[in-house]
Amino acid sequence: MRVQRIESNSINRNRQNRTSFKRQWAEHVSWGANYIKKSGKTNFKLFTFPDAQKVFVEVADRAVVGLSGMKERIVQVMAVAGAALSINQILPKDKNSKIYEMEHKGDGIYEKNGVLSKAGDKYRYIIIDKNNNVNLVKDPYSKEQDDINGWSSVYDQSEYTWKNTVWDKDPRKIKRIPSEKQRGLERLIIDEINIPTLSKEGTFEAALSKIDEIAEQGIATAIELLPVENTYSLQWGYDGVDKFAVNSKMGGPDKLKELIDYAHGKGLNVIMDMVPNHIGPDGDYLPQTGPYERGAGIFGGEFNYEGKNNKYVRDYMVNAALWWANEFKVDGIRLDMTKMCGSDYLLKQIVSEVNEHNPNVFLIAEDARENKESVTRYDIEKSDHKDELEFIDTQVDFIANKGWRSTPGDIGFDSEWDFRFMHTLKNAVISGTNLETLDDRIKNSGFRVKYVMSHDEIGNEDGTRLIPKIISRHLDLYNKVIGNNDAEKGQRAAYAAQKICELAATEEFLNMDNDALKQAEESIGLCTFVEKEEIIKALYTALARQKLAFGTVMTVPGPKMFFQGDEFGDFSNFKFFRTFSNPQAEQQRSEIIAQKGYDTAEDVARPDCILGRVSHEGLLVNVPTKLRHFNKTLVNLLQQHPALAKGDIVGTFNDYNHNVHIHHLKDGNEEILVIKNFGEGFHDKSYSYYGFPQNSTWKEIFSSDCEEFGGSNYANKGRSDITNTNQNLSLAPNSFIILEKI
């Protein structure tokens, strides 16, 4: 795609009634319903169709019943007949609400200030479009929304009093430092969490005890919340339709503030996941509200970021990012699937304005464009973003008017999810191969977020975590189940692997005879018997490879991430789940079931996904404790050795014959070697490799196979005499060791 730069003075734009593109803070926060507690009044501001005839706001006391449906309480339309029917007045149904005509300020911006109201009062907009259609819609900027198909609520932003007022000065807070190699994010170890599955209740309040556990483990330095944008049911949150309103079923905005405040008090940074690439398919009123969308996409409505009347649509999503950064005091924002936004200019605008107004808040993209350099490239010398914003505005205007495509050249995110690293590492851990590609991914990951599996790789595949996936491959369950096609066999193999894990975690497993075990295996769909010893071996292999995966992630410099519960080997599923509010959308359920291989209704799928659903007993009773200890020890090592967190990778080595990969790190005078055995073979003081650094002495400072971590203690016993001529290293299968130069 050719980059076309258009200078600002080359297009004569009509700026009448338009705010400056570099906006003052007051303009950012002026949209929607802004409640002024001191006066008891609310100011309303809406962007709608520029050619709308009239716009009204209807306000009802919060005590009024029967306001659940947006289309209920039909208003009285007053019209005059002339050459064409003209609607000139709207009256309320009864005395339970009042209707106010809004003043058109130009460009489709309508305002009504000084409306007497209380926090919690309900309101909706009534838009008379150019064709005399009467649209009853909720507020796109709704800050509190009980029902995705209901009236919006006036929200009192001052109601919650923040308790942790010194977090900005806390040394545990992670801030973006664009001039540094890792952008200041080398301390990021992210626990990706989903509030609806973190507890049986699925609420922010119930999650507080889990925040305690996360903090006490001492592994994560940050939590990343899957989106809490308002949806009809508890779910992942990526189908949000109210971009500013927190899901009411989780507890609403003030309970979210309480959770973030609490996490900060525990020393945990908080990252908010937001969705700029689409709006959910259930409860979307934007097409009736204004030119917010360009049409339907595969996940829902796609935003009109570069079409006609795009400016305030882009501002809308920028304001959403600033809303999370300011109102909820998050430390970072992760933007979902940015490559599908359809506008890199929108992304650059978000980066520019967040950097300007919240310079400490870091921004992470899920881009999936093969680590495209421009996604995270920016000019660190720029502190004033005015020129950039004028450039963005000019470029997008040109695209909208002429239809010519262009790109901004660079976007400037602080980091991005490293898809290439994740896919390669996941395949290497499951299959034990593909180390040549892994070598490239390790060398080129840089400041990107490393991880082995996120919610996507679990829920969008078959709903199972890494350990069942390894077991399925190790026991060849694909060829031990019956299915009509490859997809169905894969789904049934995944289901069988999950049930094997759950069975092995019971007290009864070790005492089962062959007949009982065979009966259990048949009930989960296996058509070939698997011996108990095979299952136990597969479990230990999977646990070892889980540690190997974590070790690879943790020992590559830069930010790291894991999914909730993976740090202690949780066996709960994580399935895609949601329930729709309308029957037409609910029809999609059967299609999703066929694709996923499991029922996706909230009441069916969510109970399987509750963190800790499967208790570790019997054979596996000590697994959670030992895995937590393993990860905590590894994190302590990162804190003690800067080379592991932010060093340079000065060399790598592939041993194809033994499925071993090695990377060499350096930071100042400190040097580290990480030796990873992806193979099934033991090396008893017999492993040496050609690329060992010359003329230096090393000691072993960590082994994933130590007994205290649940291993066989097949390690080098803390040797401190290792040289290029005296290697003879011990390596256990599916393990890694860390050596330090002395």
Please state, in angstroms and rounded to a whole number, the distance separating the CA atoms of residues 697 and 719.
Answer: 10
Structure tokens at 320: 């959403």
**Other residues' Cβ atoms within 10 Å of the Cβ of residue 612:** 18
Record: fold of 625-741? Immunoglobulin-like (2.60.40)
**pLDDT at site 325:** 97
Give the strand pairing for 189-193 and 222-225: parallel
For residues 434 and 447, the answer to whether their CB atoms sit within 8 Å is no
CA distance 727 to 696: 11
Can you give the pTM of this predicted structure?
A: 0.94
Cα 249 to Cα 704: distance, rounded to the nearest angstrom: 42
Q: How is the chain split into domains, by residue range?
A: 31-153, 625-741
pLDDT computed for residue 69 by the predictor: 78
Q: CA-CA distance, 104 to 459, in Å (whole number)?
A: 46
Please provide residue 231's backbone torsions phi and psi, each rounded to the nearest 5 degrees: -135, 170
- Residue 479, phi-psi category: left (phi > 0), alpha (psi -120 to 50), beta (remainder): alpha
Q: What pLDDT is recorded for position 22?
A: 59
The pLDDT, as a whole number, for residue 379 is 66
- The answer to whether the CB of 652 falls within 8 A of the CB of 442 is yes
Please check whether residue 185 is in contact with residue 155, taking contact to mean a CB–CB distance below 8 angstroms.
no
Neighbours of 272 (CB within 10 A): 25
Give the separation between CA 230 and CA 62, rounded to whole angstroms.
20
Task: Show the tokens assigned to 407.
Answer: 């790109």
Q: Give the closest residue to 232 by CA, choosing from 708, 591, 579, 700.
A: 579
What is the CATH architecture of 31-153?
Answer: Sandwich (2.60)
CA distance 370 to 637: 31
For each successive 10 residues of the chain (742 residues), what is the average pLDDT?
34 35 75 96 98 95 73 80 72 90 96 96 94 93 95 96 96 93 94 98 98 98 98 95 97 98 98 97 95 93 95 96 97 97 95 91 94 80 64 89 83 94 94 84 93 95 94 97 92 96 96 96 97 97 97 97 98 93 72 80 95 96 97 96 95 92 96 95 92 93 95 85 93 96 94
pLDDT at 20: 44
Using CA atoms, how far apart are residues 495 and 471, in angstroms rounded to an integer? Answer: 11
